[in-house]
Structure 1
């Protein structure tokens, strides 16, 4: 047996082998196999940290602290605030996640009339989608996404129909009440009712209710009775959470793994900034000949001053004196390289683009393109999570409220199960080379692998608005006798199709 695989016998090994040599041999063989996994053995040079706690226990002990640290970084650290903005802007975008209604007839075709009705009502609702009437729908999405990424979770109560003292602010009686994670107490638990961390679940682990405070803990409205909890049925609550483990109930901040590094970067930069500021304030000193020359200064004559000016010749030095400069080695030339390395690690932990987080665009075109292509999948995954947990349920609620209020009665030829079907379109990867990207989309649409609606949505536009704008503009252009290159292209295309049809008729 080699020294690497040697396993010393313990007292238990000897005791087992004494009573049962066969069992002792199996025990020794199993220990020899386990000893090969060196990563599982702590040593003097490696701590080998282990955590066998349940997901909920980890969250209960850490979530609130991590949430507070992430909020502090957003408020006081420019890099953290910028990184959070990069994630939100790429996941949600300026106009929010697009929704294209796709209700279908019984024959499978899209019911354009009913879709148009939903779009009309939707344009009205998105102006005031939440109870305070402060935010539009796109702002609600960005605010919810920022809270979700920073705090690990965000809540929204779904309010449909008549609610006491609530003005929905739109024709469709539906509103959202946004809530931060503080409303849902981590410490509230009741084993008899299967309540853990403020969430009531059934025997299968499905959330059936949320126990929330009536006001934000510690706010100005926090008074007598505010500490009381109210139960909100899970069917009336949206809960967007970052879950890392199976069975986890509450979310953890996306900044959890990079908080320490961000704090170190902030402290290091602050130290270097102060050192550079001190170095800039230092001037010169007068070095005298020997110790005897440093006699006690004459206090009556005041502090000795030597003026400094470009090209100046100093001839006021006494015998044995010379001018010395203080070299502080600041600013530190290694700061930039250190900062770049740390920010790459932060970008990897957050899943954001290093170039966007660090505002460093010095790479080659190929490197920038490769980074963007590889990075965009992470934004797409976050977008998919947010759509599934927030946008899609809100759309289904909106369609339900519109139907129940009689504003969007389903037609007889509508397939019932498709009434709230829709296409949810997130942000598209930015164009690095606009000409190549445009040609690629043109080829996909022309070959039938993509639709014009998808392309317009990917570019942040509304397909119906674009069509109306084009139609109105073409009409005005025709009235003025103007023509464009696309008009000739369409005429040629129409002529080619007509000739092709004529050829087919002749062949028949």
Structure 2
């Protein structure tokens, strides 16, 4: 039995009135929407201008300022704690203590906040790994514009430079070219860029697509809405001022000539005062201005804020500070989604950079004669634990996780920003002092928690 041919390989007859049925590829509504090119080229073409506008908003617009602070606090908070993964417990404590001392001496926590601010506003942060006079690690944060975006050239042996980044024949980053500048320079002048090996540079940015080599400001999707919202608020403020300016006009209906008000005093006496009753002469009337109020202005501002919050992936009530209509359940749902987004950025974008800092710190400490860092040991990073609306429930959840063996005390304490060895030592000292003085604070607390009503 022969089956009929299901697919005809010949070209179908053209239909004169055929149109595309995939609406995303056709339609009149898309006629004014330009096509978006490759991610890498689009970012290189517009990143500098977007960065400049984002910086203007970051330092001038209250909503943009609040967004930057929210994201920076959520990413690194008061600091990030390093926990050595050395097998020996004594070495772990030594590593943690030495790195904590280095962090405090160099202001590493404040630098992380600065890096996250640049990551949000500029879309990228650049660190150069240097050494101080004693041979210890020193981190230099370089502004994004110093990585020469105008420097693109073809080199020999398949190497090339694109937007200040030098690539090898296999498209691997091998160097960065920075414009030399001093922190006190007010105006940029041309200087030949300096080549810095890629091993000495940490380039932090979020990759949005294949081929992207430079970072794009996180404000990019909301720059226009932020600008429009700012103009709308200015217009509403001016409108409110105009409405507050009550102006009266005296109308001479009969055209009799001079205004008779205050003829005895020689001056007009028509001011408005509480409780004053005036009698107008025949043929005169008074008319007051009545500026038109802008209807639904509050709703329009709320929609704009909601759009900006969605573009920045921040809960609306955090961005606006307006807690009306927010309850515990809705706030918790929004915060869970926001924190999942933040954790993804922390572990995908920040942790790789922190690992390189840890490795370089170990190497330099070994070269300085520190035997505890002679063997390269990785580390894990504990970001500040987010505070919930109900701290008691959060503490109960931590206690349950400890009882189930899902986390260690070292991890739980690190999430609070403390070193477990130091905490244990302080607790032991407290217990010893309580016993010596006959105090029972801890025992009373346990009995109270275990008592039944």
Q: Which residue in 1 is equivalent to 2:3?
A: none
Identify if the C-alpha distance between structure 1 residues 325 and 52 changes in structure 2 by more than 3 Å, giving closer, same or farther: closer
Is residue 387 from structure 1 mapped to residue 345 from structure 2 by the alignment?
Answer: no
Q: Which residue in 2 is equivalent to 1:113?
A: 90
Q: Which residue in 1 is equivalent to 2:397?
A: 440
Q: Which residue in 2 is equivalent to 1:8?
A: none
Q: 1:303: how far off?
A: 6.0
What do you get for the CA RMSD once the two structures are aligned? 3.1
> Does the 8 A contact of 2:40 with 2:209 survive in 1?
no
Q: 1:421: how far off?
A: 1.7
Aligned ranges 1:316-335 → 2 under 5 Å: 316-330=279-293, 332=294, 334-335=296-297
Three-state SS of the structure 2 residue aligned to 1:100 is strand
Q: 1:90: how far off?
A: 0.6
Q: 1:52: how far off?
A: 5.2
Identify if the C-alpha distance between structure 1 residues 100 and 333 changes in structure 2 by more than 3 Å, giving closer, same or farther: farther
Is residue 24 from structure 1 mapped to residue 1 from structure 2 by the alignment?
Answer: no
Q: 1:50: how far off?
A: 4.0
CA-to-aligned-CA distance 1:286-321 (integer Å, 9 cap, x gap) = 4536262576899998762423333x1322532244
Identify if the C-alpha distance between structure 1 residues 50 and 307 changes in structure 2 by more than 3 Å, giving closer, same or farther: closer
Is residue 86 from structure 1 mapped to residue 70 from structure 2 by the alignment?
Answer: yes
Structure 1: 5+ residue runs without aligned partners?
1-20, 105-110, 130-135, 161-165, 494-508
Identify if the C-alpha distance between structure 1 residues 61 and 294 changes in structure 2 by more than 3 Å, giving closer, same or farther: farther
Q: Which residue in 2 is equivalent to 1:251?
A: 215
Question: What is the count of residue pairs matched by the alignment?
Answer: 437
> Does the 8 A contact of 2:94 with 2:372 survive in 1?
no
> Does the 8 A contact of 1:173 with 1:402 survive in 2?
yes
- Give the TM-score normalised by the residue count of structure 2: 0.87
Q: Which residue in 2 is equivalent to 1:132?
A: none
Q: Which residue in 2 is equivalent to 1:148?
A: 119
Q: Which residue in 2 is equivalent to 1:505?
A: none
Q: Which residue in 1 is equivalent to 2:4?
A: none
Find the aligned partners of 1:488 and 1:74 in 2 and give their Cα distance. Answer: 47
Identify if the C-alpha distance between structure 1 residues 123 and 294 changes in structure 2 by more than 3 Å, giving closer, same or farther: farther
Q: Which residue in 2 is equivalent to 1:503?
A: none
Find the aligned partners of 1:462 and 1:309 in 2 and give their Cα distance. Answer: 69
Q: Which residue in 2 is equivalent to 1:408?
A: 371
Aligned ranges 1:272-287 → 2 under 5 Å: 272-280=236-244, 282-287=245-250
- Give the TM-score normalised by the residue count of structure 1: 0.78
CA-to-aligned-CA distance 1:366-386 (integer Å, 9 cap, x gap) = 111111112111111222234
Find the aligned partners of 1:333 and 1:480 in 2 and give their Cα distance. Answer: 70
Three-state SS of the structure 1 residue aligned to 2:353 is helix
> Does the 8 A contact of 2:82 with 2:99 survive in 1?
no
Find 1:356's aligned residue among 318, 322, 342.
318
Identify if the C-alpha distance between structure 1 residues 222 and 71 changes in structure 2 by more than 3 Å, giving closer, same or farther: closer
Q: Which residue in 1 is equivalent to 2:169?
A: 203
Structure 2: 5+ residue runs without aligned partners?
1-7
Three-state SS of the structure 2 residue aligned to 1:147 is helix
Q: 1:466: how far off?
A: 2.1
Aligned ranges 1:169-318 → 2 under 5 Å: 173-192=136-155, 193-215=159-181, 219-220=185-186, 222=188, 227-280=191-244, 282-288=245-251, 290=253, 292=255, 304-310=268-274, 312-318=275-281
Three-state SS of the structure 2 residue aligned to 1:215 is coil
Q: Which residue in 2 is equivalent to 1:98?
A: 81
